[in-house]
Amino acid sequence: MNRLEYTHYTKKEFCAENRIKAYIVNPKKSHNFTRALGKRSKTDKIDARILYQFHKLIDLKDIQVPKVDQQAKALASYLTSYEFALKQRVALSNHLESLRDKELITLIKKI
């Protein structure tokens, strides 16, 4: 789970735990909405105006207390850990390939 997704879950959980109604905006949908308006989202001020315009189009029944799927959250966490371990493995493998000292390679592989 990247940083943005983690923040998203934290806010979603906060709203769920405190029974705060919210509408979770899909980043892709927001991006497409911005493009449809012919705007470029470059500053917080522009982002705020665009989100306000987006908010005016949302049906009130769609604004509700979010539900947190604990299974999806756990799976996302496992996937993040797996991806991290995989990247570390590839980095170590690449590092070992770049080494020239056979003794050093043997020692590192034992670790």
In a domain, 1, yes or no: no
7 pLDDT above the threshold of 80: no
Are 55 and 82 within one domain? no
Residues contacting residue 24 through CB under 8 Å, at least 6 positions apart: 8, 12, 66
Are 62 and 105 within one domain? no
Total domains, the chain:
2
Are 62 and 73 within one domain? no
Q: Which domain holds residue 106?
A: 69-110
Confidence category of residue 1, pLDDT binned at 50, 70, 90: very low
pTM given for the model: 0.53
Are 35 and 61 within one domain? yes
28-84, pLDDT tens digit by residue? Answer: 888 888 888 888 767 888 888 888 988 898 998 999 999 989 998 899 899 999 999
Are 50 and 84 within one domain? no
Are 34 and 18 within one domain? yes
